[in-house]
Amino acid sequence: MTKVKVITDPEVIKLMLEDTRRKILALLRNREMTISQLSEILGKTPQTIYHHIEKLKEAGLVEVKRTEMKGNLVEKYYGRTADAFYINLYLGDEELRYFARSRLKTKLEIFKALGYEFDGEELLNIMDRLLEKEHEYKTEISREIEANEEKLKDFSDEDIIHAIEWLAMAKMGRDDESISLVRRLGEVLGIER
C-alpha cells in the first residue's frame, strides 16, 4: 500500500465525501474488513455496503487485500489503496469550491461566538484564498511524497501528514501573497500583536 495518494479527479473527491463512503474509508484506515464487518459496525445492510465498496473500488480507493474460506463461502477482506488520501477542494469544480467555502462559514460562526467582530464577506474571501493557497502547496508536496514513497516507508502516516502540513506552512511563509493574506486576516479580526 502506498503512503499518500493525491486525488485530483473532482468526481472521485465527491464520491469520497459521501457520508457512508467516508466512514468506510475511515474504518479501513486501521485494518482490513469484510462487507459483513463493515455492515455490522455502520448499521447498514450488506447490499448497501457492497454498493459503496464497489464505487470505492472503481475509484481506486479500496481493493481486495485477501480472501479466506469460511465453510463454502469466500470472504473478501477490503483495504485502502493508500494510508492517506489527499484531496484538493480547489480544483475549479464549482460544487467542490462551494463545499470548501461553506465549511469556512462555520469558522466564522465560531469567531462570532468568541466575540470577534468583522466583515464576514471580506474575512470569508481572505480565508478562502488562504485555503486555496494551502491546498496548492499540499498537493505539490503530496506529489513529492508519492514520488519518494520508498524513502518514507519507515515513517508513520501521522508523521508524514504532519510533515506535509509543516512543509506547506514553510512554503506559505515564503509566499508574499500568503503572508499578506495572513496579515489582513489578523487585521480584519482585530487581533493585536
122 and 51 assigned to the same domain: no
The residue out of 27, 58, 84 marking a domain boundary is 84
151 is in which domain, residue-wise?
90-189
22 and 98 assigned to the same domain: no
12 and 52 assigned to the same domain: yes
**Whether the predicted pLDDT of 25 surpasses 90:** yes
Name the pTM for this structure.
0.73
The residue out of 84, 100, 120 marking a domain boundary is 84
133 and 55 assigned to the same domain: no
Looking at residue 94, which CATH number applies to its domain?
Answer: 1.10.20.10
Q: Which three cell numbers stand for residue 53?
A: 465498496
Phi-psi sector, 151: left (phi>0), alpha (psi -120 to 50), beta: alpha
The residue out of 84, 107, 141 marking a domain boundary is 84
68 and 143 assigned to the same domain: no
pLDDT for the residue numbered 68: 93
Q: Provide mean pLDDT across the span 31-55.
A: 97
pLDDT tens by residue, 176-191: 999 999 999 999 999 9
For residues 78 and 34, what is the distance between their CA atoms, to the nearest angstrom?
Answer: 6
Percent of the chain topping pLDDT 70: 98
| Number of domains forming the structure of the chain | 2
**Whether the predicted pLDDT of 92 surpasses 70:** no
102 and 146 assigned to the same domain: yes
63 and 119 assigned to the same domain: no
167 and 102 assigned to the same domain: yes
DSSP string, 49-71: HHHHHHHHHHTTSEEEEEEEEET
For residues 10 and 73, what is the distance between their CA atoms, to the nearest angstrom?
Answer: 37
pLDDT tens by residue, 57-82: 999 999 999 999 988 889 999 999 99
79 and 99 assigned to the same domain: no
Percent of the chain topping pLDDT 90: 63
